[in-house]
A and B are shown apart, each in its own frame.
Chain A
Amino acid sequence: AQTVTQSQPEMSVQEAETVTLSCTYDTSESDYYLFWYKQPPSRQMILVIRQEAYKQQNATENRFSVNFQKAAKSFSLKISDSQLGDAAMYFCAYRSAFGPGANNLFFGTGTRLTVIP
């Protein structure tokens, strides 16, 4: 089974600064999707950004961007100009592109981000 590792249980960032959250994964597949989800306290999980493994270009969504290193199996999330509303638990997730694994999101253990005013 695929595994997703988030080695930073907690991170903090000063408001308006930039922070990078790390994620590594283990897979033998060549086609897959990677995701970053945000789970604010007592609120539902929402998709922040998505990356298709076959795309070399790193995904970007406004202040959120990723650094996808396929050979290194690394998928980090960069949050620029951090805002108080960015405070949340962030989960990295993997999903196969084909086969049974395509029906399942494998999540890491999460990184709790604190934004300091």
Chain B
Amino acid sequence: DTGVSQDPRHKITKRGQNVTFRCDPISEHNRLYWYRQTLGQGPEFLTYFQNEAQLEKSRLLSDRFSAERPKGSFSTLEIQRTEQGDSAMYLCASSLERSGTWVFGPGTRLTVL
């Protein structure tokens, strides 16, 4: 297992389109986190899963955003009706239990035209 992977690495879309990102965590990690990072800012928490259960969501996660982790392994983050303000780097991280070290993926950079 080489770490957390994310796909795609880059996505360019037109405003109003739907996009979906995938995150594959480290296999034995039961916790998975999504963050958003805009230019010049630190990452901001979006949501997290423990196994397949989504246990916490940030107010940043509007109704257009949905995340799933159907079998407690990989996770998807979907953005519907994208807006230019959604342009950002979307980071995924995983950890083994809460106190474990969080390992981040390389991120998916979304550009909404």
Q: Which of B12-20, B37-45, B64-72 contacts A (4 or more CB under 8 A)?
A: B37-45
Residue A34, interface by CB 8 Å: no
A45 to B56, CA, bound (A): 22
Instruction: Give the distance in Å from the alpha carbon of A26 to the alpha carbon of B106 in the complex.
Output: 29
Give the shortest distance, in Å, between A74 (CB) and chain B (any CB): 18
List residues of chain A with CB within 8 A of the CB of B55. Answer: 103
Whole-angstrom distance from the CB of B6 to the nearest CB of chain A?
9
**Could you tell me if A45 and B45 are in contact, using CB atoms closer than 8 angstroms?**
no
A44 interface hit (Cβ, 8 Å):
yes
Query: Is there contact, CB below 8 Å, between B42 and A44?
Result: no
Chain B residues with CB under 8 Å of A103's CB are 31, 33, 48, 55-56, 98
Minimum CB–CB distance for A96 against chain B, Å: 10
CB distance from B43 to the nearest CB of A (A): 5
B:9-51 near A, CB below 8 Å: 31, 33, 35, 40-45, 48
Q: Which of B31, B33, B42 contacts A109 (CB 8 A)?
A: B42
Cβ of B48 and Cβ of A109 under 8 Å apart? no
Interface size on B, residues (CB 8 A): 23
- A109 contacts B40, C-beta separation under 8 Å: yes
* Nearest-CB residue, chain A, relative to B42: A107
Instruction: Indicate if B79 sits at the interface (CB-CB under 8 A).
Output: no
How far is B104's CA from A47's CA once the two chains are assembled, in angstroms?
9
> In the complex, A50→B56 CA distance in Å?
24
Q: Is the CB of B48 within 8 A of A44?
A: no
A43 to B6 alpha-carbon distance, docked (Å)? 12
Q: How far is the CB of A10 from chain B (nearest CB, A)?
A: 11
Q: What residues of chain A lie closer than 8 Å to B62, measured between beta carbons? A: none
A108 and B44 alpha carbons, distance in the complex (Å) = 10
Give Cα A109 to B42, complex, Å: 4
6 A-B pairs, CB-CB below 8 angstroms?
A45-B104, A47-B103, A100-B56, A102-B98, A104-B45, A105-B43
